[in-house]
Structures are given as C-alpha cells and as structure tokens.
Amino acid sequence: MTAREAQGRGASASTDESAGEPRPAQRAEGERSRELEARLRRILDERYHHRHPFNVRLHGGRCTPDEVRRWIRNRYYYQTRIPIKDGLILTKSEDQGFRRGWIRRIRDHDGDEARTGGLELWLRLAEAAGLERGEVASLRGVLPGVRRACDAYVEFVARQDLLASVASSLTELAAGPFLAERAAAFRKHYRWIEEAGLAYFVSRTTQAPRDAEEGVAYVLANAKTPADQDRCTAALERKCEILWALLDGVEWGGRAPRLAAAALLREEADGGVVVLPERAVRVSPSGREILALCDGARSVESVAGALREHHPENGSVERDVYDFVERMQGLGVLALAETGK
Amino acid sequence: MTEEERPRRDVWNLVAELTYRCPLRCPYCSNPLALREFPEALAADDWARVFREAAALGAVHVGLTGGEPTTRRDLGEIVRSAAGAGLYTHLVTAGLPIDAAGLRALRDAGLRSVQVSVQDAEATTSDEVAGTACFSKKLAFAREVRALALPLTLNVVLHRRNLDRVRELIALARALDADRLELANTQYQGWALANRAALMPTREQLELAARVVAEERARAGRPEILFVLPDYFRDRPKPCMGGWARTHVVVTPDGRVLPCHGAAELPLEFWSVRERTLGACWREAPGMNAFRGEGWMQEPCRSCPERSRDFGGCRCQAFALVGDAAATDPACSLSPRHALVSAARDAPPASGWRYRTM
C-alpha cells in the first residue's frame, strides 16, 4: 500500500473520495500532495545512502570483516540517537493522537515488557559479528565524524518545528526495501555473522514502512503552502546528508591517506600539480594543504579536523576533505592504509 | 594524459620518440609505414636541450617511447637529463632488449615509472602478434619493475584475436602486481590501418569485454583498468590528443615536432628542434597552427555543440580515410563520410596481416 492511500484513509479521511468527482479545491489539494510526494521520493532516489560507496561495497560483499565491524560499532551511535530524536518530536505536538502514534517508535527502539527493542537487537548484531557488547554500548570507539553526523541530526530536529522534524524522518520511505536487501546481502556475503544477529534488519523491514506511511501522511496533510513544502524537502535533504556523512565517517575514519608511490607533487604558485604515469592532476592551494597533511600516519578524520581548525569559517570543510580525498584516491593520487583503529 | 581542469600552460606532456628501431613487429604499430632510422637521429645532448625547453613550456611529464627506447645505449643519460629538467620520466617499453641491470641503472638515473607491453595473455599468441618470441622475457622484466618498487603499467593493444581474453589479461596484470592496466583498443593509424580488416573486432566481442571490465573494476582497487570503446563503435569521435597541439607535444627520433604520433603523414609543414627551439616549433610551425582552436572546422563540426568536447576528432583519421585533414572525423556518425567507417567495421574479416617492417 502506498503513502497516497494512507493519506486517503488517514489524515484527509474527512473528505469522502468515493462520492463522485472531487471538487476543484480537493483536486488541487490532491495534485499538491502528489507533487510533494514525488519530490520527496526523488530526493530519496538521488541522495539516500543506498548510493554511498561504502554501502555499495557493504551490500556487494566487498567489505572486510573489520570494515563490517567498524560499521556496526559506529552505526550503534546512530541507533542510540533515534529514541532521543523521537522524544524531541513528541514534545513538539499538542495532539494526543499524534503522540500516541509516535511514542511507539521509542518503544520500537528501547523495547518494553512485550518485546525486545532495536537497540538490544543491534547489540546482538554486534555480538554475532564478534564485537564485545559492553565495548559497543559504551560508545567509546565511535569515530568523531560519525558522532558529529549523528549529533547534527538530533540538533537539527531540536531546532525545527514539528512538520520539518517529521519530514526529516521520511528516509524511512526508502528503508523497507533497503533493509530487506541488506538482510539478504548479509546472509549471502557475511555468513560468519549468524542469522540471529540479523534480527534488527528483519524487524525493521516491517516497522520502517509502517512508520513511513504515518510520517508521509502527516507531512502531506500538513504541508499546505509552497513554503511548508520547501521546508519539508529541505529537511529530508538535510537528513540524507547526515546519513551520508555518517557513512563517510565510517568509510574514511581510521584510514590514513598518503601520496601514492607513483605520484609526484609539484608545488606551484597557484596550488600544485600531482604527476602520475600518463596523468597530471592540478590541485588548488587548499587541495595542496590537504595533501601536505596526508602523511600515512594521520587518519582522514584527523586531516579533516586539522583543516577545520585552520578554516573555522568554512562550515563544510570536513565534507570537502572527504570529497577531495575520495576524488584523489580515485585518480591514483592518494593511497589509503588501514590504521587499525 | 588527462588533466582535471583546463590547462593553463602551453604543454603538459612531452612524447619523446627516441628511436624507430624495435625488436618487435606488431602489425598494429602506430609508427608510419614508410619509416627508416635516420642516421641523424637526435643525440643525447639534443634530447637534454629538448627536455629543458619542454619544462620551460610547462611540461611536467615525459613519455620515453619509440620504437623501442631501450635499444638506445645512451638511455641512462637521456633519463638523467629528463629527470634533471624536472620532468616525470615514464618509460614505454616492450621489456626487451633491456635487462634487470639496465632497469636498475635507469632507476638510479631518475626513472619514475614503467609501461610494459604484452600482446596477449599467454606466450604462443602473444609471440605470434609480436612476430618474435619475447613473452617470457616481458613477464620477467615486468617483475623486475615491481621488485624495484617502480609503478608498473601493463599495456595491451586489443583486437579481434585477443579481445576474448580480457579476463585473463586482467588476471595477468594482477599477478604481476601492476598499478594500471591499459586495455587499448587498436586505433587504425599507421600499420594498424593497413591491417584493419584482420584486426577489426566484432561488436559482440567489445560488449563482452566491456562487461568483464566493469565486473573486474568492481572487484578491487588494483590494478586501475583503462578501457574505452573504440571510436569505430561509437557515435562520436575520440577527443584525439585532448585537441590538436593543445597539451601534448611529440618529438620524433629525427627531431621533428608534431602534435601527435601520426601527424608526420599529413601534408603539413612541421619544424625540427635541430633548427629551432622547441618553443618556436610548438608555437609557430604552420602545421602546429593548422588545426588549433576551432576556426579551421567545416560543417558539421563548425556549428556542433560538442565541438569543444571532441575537437572534431582525429585529423590523421580524417586525412587517411576522407583525404581531407580538415574534414569531420568519419568516426562521427554526423560525418557525411561516416559510411567509410561503418563499412570497414562491418566488412568480413581478413585472416592474415602484414608485420611491421623497417
């Protein structure tokens, strides 16, 4: 069942859609909803983290056991932020019905007398992958980039109104099939993780579509003006960025870039040129600054951290560093070594 | 050679053809058919001057090629002067006659990276294409390159007879610990044009090879695999040399300065570093300026929105097939003479080929 039908039964149930031709106002409203939903889905298609290189490798079976464990350990921090974020959303609503529905999400993650919650299921995944439960739960090993991305999500929801907060949760729209694919990928490629460890993915394949249905119905019913709709799409884009940054943190954290053996860096007045066999890559002064820090000892995280200190005025400096390192790796300029962290 | 951004210097890359001599006889050699070793081939001192002048024009990289550059006894001196001029020195070799000691000497002289060619994934067929028994020597040399921790590019020219073994070629590159694998589809210039009917692959072969490359690229980081569909099988021409006399300069064994390997066969006036500086030959020779920019273009190139992306394709191919070096490259489906390419592509294959001779 689609979110469109959910809206028909739920939020706009007061209009009887079976009673002949809709009035022009209703038709306009239906049109507006369809457009908004299409925009939201397009954002997910283009920016959801299913396209992130790390996720593509994870689902393609190309991650090493250490990489899978790093992802599990770090992603747990995100899991712990979800009930806190949902608690913030609850405080924004005056509607008992809304709160009664939304509070179920907190129980889904924290568990209750009747069932085991998502946080516990994630720790079981960690154990099945050979990690120590207490170590993961302590959050001590969480990479700084991952921590920042997850904290940014909580801060974002704290600042937004109810509508934009709910809109930011609509990544759930893509999560159902995505998690089914993930469970299948783990069964196929990472057989060293026992089936019992996959219970989180399995439980979310049914929870996520239900959450998404409710969330999208709320957003479509309440984003009435073009400005509201733009705030909703912007909120979803921001959430996609946060999930993407989380995986950047997992992908790059703990890896130390260095100039590739084949590469020769020439310093020039307007930046630098990296020369490789049959290839030359021009880098800007800031690119040269990043390359100078890539010494094979500093992790990408600490390179990004150093750049942040040098350029506090640039709000996207860490993302720029990750993008630059990724591009330079693709061009053969940088090689990445595991630091074992 | 590719650049991430538009060039802001005269020259990026010098292609130094040190000799036409070669122990191999590959039937797709890009050297001109009517070549001879000029007795007055540039001496090591001449090359040293060329390297300094190239660096002054902005060049950062030199491909030391030929023919077979390691047939020159003074190659160590040449490498030393190129490295001394600040150029990144990249040796393009068949892997013979040079040996391990020779390679160490070049490394000590400042050599930075090595490309070794093989003709196929196993000895019998590889040697058959090379026209001489050399496959095991090539592999031994490639291992020496990695043993000295020099970056290794493995190069294979692809055609009808080896295109079905792309997976084996990738496995060979992995076994040799190559950094890059150039799967270079034959470009029909020089000897390759004369042997076109025997070399031309089928579309099915190319599509299968492209699928294999995509699968293998997804597998792991090394080696980087370079593979592009040949222009005969695409609707648009290749952006030959990144544009005529725009980023690459070729100096032939006898000192002529060209925009590409094949341009010597065009009816144009090029100059020689024997008489003038490299800068003068690059900037002012009539042949170098013949196809710079877009003013020389005819329709359909002149008004084509893609002209700044592919520069109208390859001038040498236009001349060889259409007879007019200023014509649209007939590999482009918009060319009125495109049938010259599509007919050759779809023609029945020939069984034999002519080996390169001097």
Q: Which residues of B touch A331 (CB under 8 A)?
A: 4
Tokens of A296: 């094979």
Least CB–CB distance from B179: residue in A62, A262, A270:
A262
Instruction: State how far the Cα of B200 lies from the Cα of B191, in Å rounded to an integer.
Output: 13
pLDDT of residue A338: 66
Q: Compute how many other C-beta atoms are within 10 angstroms of the C-beta atom of residue A131.
A: 19
| CA atoms A26, A100, A239, A198: torsion sign | negative
Q: Give the largest CA-CA distance in chain B.
A: 56
Across the interface, whether the CB atoms of B115 and A331 are under 8 A apart is answered: no
Q: Compute how many other C-beta atoms are within 10 angstroms of the C-beta atom of residue A183.
A: 17
Q: Compute how many other C-beta atoms are within 10 angstroms of the C-beta atom of residue B337.
A: 16
Residue B333 and residue B301 in contact, taking contact as beta carbons nearer than 8 Å = no
User: CB distance from B6 to chain A under 8 Å?
Assistant: no
Instruction: State how far the Cα of A163 lies from the Cα of B327, in Å rounded to an integer.
Output: 61
| CA atoms A124, A125, A128, A130: torsion sign | negative
CA nearest neighbour of B189 among B316, B65, B4, B307: B316
Q: Which residues pair with B114 in a beta bridge?
A: B91, B152
Instruction: Identify the closest residue of chain B to A266 by CA–CA distance.
Output: B60
Instruction: State how far the Cα of B259 lies from the Cα of A335, in Å rounded to an integer.
Output: 33
pLDDT of residue A10: 35
Which string of b and e fits B193-206 if b means at least 16 CB within 10 Å?
A: bbbbebbbbeeebb
pLDDT of residue B5: 43
Q: Compute how many other C-beta atoms are within 10 angstroms of the C-beta atom of residue B166.
A: 25
Measured between CA atoms, how close is B330 to chain A, in angstroms? 27
**Residue A97 exposed, middle or buried by CB count within 10 Å (0-12, 13-18, 19+):** exposed
Residue from B3, B4, B107 to probe the interface with A (highest A Cβ count within 10 Å): B4
Confidence label for B221 from pLDDT (cuts 50, 70 and 90):
low
Across the interface, whether the CB atoms of B149 and A261 are under 8 A apart is answered: yes
Tokens of A245: 């940054």
Least CB–CB distance from B151: residue in A273, A277, A281:
A277
Q: Which residue has the tokens 């648009």?
A: B236
Across the interface, whether the CB atoms of A282 and B218 are under 8 A apart is answered: no
Using DSSP's 3-state secondary structure scheme, residue A85 falls into: helix
Secondary structure (H, E, C), chain B:
CECCCCCCCCCCEEEEECCCCCCCCCCCCCCCCCCCCCCCCCCHHHHHHHHHHHHHCCCCEEEEECCCHHHCCCHHHHHHHHHHCCCEEEEEECCCCCCHHHHHHHHHHCCCEEEEECCCCCHHHHHHHHCCCCHHHHHHHHHHHHHCCCCEEEEEEECCCCHHHHHHHHHHHHHCCCCEEEEEECCCCHHHHHCHHHHCCCHHHHHHHHHHHHHHHHHCCCCEEEECCCHHHCCCCCCHHHCCCCCEEEECCCCEEECCHHHHHCCCCCCECCCCCHHHHHHHCHHHHCCCCCCCCCCCCCCCCCHHHHCCCCHHHHHHHHCCCCCCCCCCCCCCCCHHHHHHHHCCCCCCCCCCCC
Length of chain A: 341
Length of chain B: 358
Instruction: State how far the Cα of B244 lies from the Cα of B260, in Å rounded to an integer.
Output: 8
Residue A70 and residue A249 in contact, taking contact as beta carbons nearer than 8 Å = no
Using DSSP's 3-state secondary structure scheme, residue A336 falls into: strand
DSSP characters for A197-256? GGHHHHHHHHHHHHHHHHHHHHHHHH--SHHHHHHHHHHHHHHHHHHHHHHHHHHHTTEE
CA nearest neighbour of B299 among B262, B332, B340, B253: B332
CB within 8 Å of chain A, chain B residues 89-108: 90
pLDDT at residue B3 above 70? no
User: CB distance from A62 to chain B under 8 Å?
Assistant: yes
In eight-state DSSP terms, residue A313 is T
Across the interface, whether the CB atoms of B149 and A264 are under 8 A apart is answered: no
Instruction: State how far the Cα of B291 lies from the Cα of B311, in Å rounded to an integer.
Output: 9
pLDDT of residue A66: 85
Cis check: omega of the bond before B97, within 30 degrees of 0: yes
pLDDT of residue A115: 87
User: CB distance from B179 to chain A under 8 Å?
Assistant: yes
The percent of residues above 90 in pLDDT, for chain B, comes to: 84
Set out the domains of chain A in order of their start, with CATH numbers. Answer: 24-253 (1.20.910.10), 257-337 (1.10.10.1150)
Measured between CA atoms, how close is A177 to chain B, in angstroms? 23
pLDDT of residue B39: 62
User: CB distance from A278 to chain B under 8 Å?
Assistant: yes
User: CB distance from B4 to chain A under 8 Å?
Assistant: yes
Phi and psi torsions of A279, nearest 5°: -155, 140
Q: Which residues pair with B90 in a beta bridge?
A: B63, B113
pLDDT of residue B253: 93
Residue from B6, B12, B13, B60 to probe the interface with A (highest A Cβ count within 10 Å): B60
Across the interface, whether the CB atoms of B60 and A266 are under 8 A apart is answered: yes
Phi and psi torsions of B54, nearest 5°: -65, -45
Instruction: State how far the Cα of B145 lies from the Cα of B235, in Å rounded to an integer.
Output: 39
Q: What is the H or E stretch that residue A335 is in? A: strand A334-338
Q: Given its phi and psi angles, is residue B313 left (phi above 0), alpha (psi -120 to 50 degrees) or beta?
A: left
The whole-number average pLDDT for the span B296-309 is 94
User: CB distance from A276 to chain B under 8 Å?
Assistant: yes
Across the interface, whether the CB atoms of B180 and A275 are under 8 A apart is answered: no
User: CB distance from A60 to chain B under 8 Å?
Assistant: yes
The whole-number average pLDDT for the span B154-158 is 98
In order of B123, B241, B319, the CA distances from B309 in angstroms are: 40, 12, 20
In order of A284, A320, B139, B238, the CA distances from A268 in angstroms are: 10, 21, 38, 31
DSSP characters for A154-212? HHHHHHS-HHHHHHHGGGHHHHHHHHHHHHHHHHHH-TTS-GGGGHHHHHHHHHHHHHH
Across the interface, whether the CB atoms of B112 and A62 are under 8 A apart is answered: no
Q: Which residue has the tokens 């001394």?
A: B84
CB within 8 Å of chain B, chain A residues 279-318: 279-282
Residue B193 and residue B318 in contact, taking contact as beta carbons nearer than 8 Å = no
CB within 8 Å of chain A, chain B residues 317-346: none
Instruction: State how far the Cα of A257 lies from the Cα of A115, in Å rounded to an integer.
Output: 45
User: CB distance from B147 to chain A under 8 Å?
Assistant: no
pLDDT of residue A246: 94
Measured between CA atoms, how close is A61 to chain B, in angstroms? 10
Across the interface, whether the CB atoms of A277 and B149 are under 8 A apart is answered: no
Across the interface, whether the CB atoms of B218 and A62 are under 8 A apart is answered: yes
pLDDT single digits (tens) B20-32: 999 999 999 988 7
Instruction: State how far the Cα of B30 lies from the Cα of B21, in Å rounded to an integer.
Output: 13
Across the interface, whether the CB atoms of A280 and B153 are under 8 A apart is answered: no
pLDDT of residue A4: 37
The C-alpha R_g of chain A, in whole angstroms, comes to 23
Tokens of B236: 């648009």
Taking the mean position of all CA atoms in its chain, how far away is CA B69?
14
pLDDT of residue A316: 77
User: CB distance from B184 to chain A under 8 Å?
Assistant: no
In eight-state DSSP terms, residue A49 is G
pLDDT of residue B37: 56
Which residues of chain A are under the pLDDT cut of 70? Answer: 1-27, 338-341
Residue from A259, A274, A279, A323 to probe the interface with B (highest B Cβ count within 10 Å): A279
Q: Which residues of B touch A60 (CB under 8 A)?
A: 218
pLDDT at residue B208 above 70? yes
The percent of residues above 70 in pLDDT, for chain B, comes to: 95
pLDDT at residue B210 above 90? yes
In the sheet that A279-283 helps form, which strands lie side by side, from edge to edge? A264-268, A271-276, A279-283
Q: Report the first-to-last Cα separation within chain A, whole angstroms.
A: 44
Instruction: State how far the Cα of A192 lies from the Cα of A65, in Å rounded to an integer.
Output: 9
Across the interface, whether the CB atoms of B1 and A262 are under 8 A apart is answered: no
Least CB–CB distance from B61: residue in A261, A275, A282:
A275
The whole-number average pLDDT for the span B299-305 is 95
Across the interface, whether the CB atoms of A277 and B219 are under 8 A apart is answered: no
pLDDT of residue A21: 55
Q: Which residue has the tokens 């959801």?
A: A48
CB within 8 Å of chain B, chain A residues 196-235: none
pLDDT at residue B231 above 70? yes
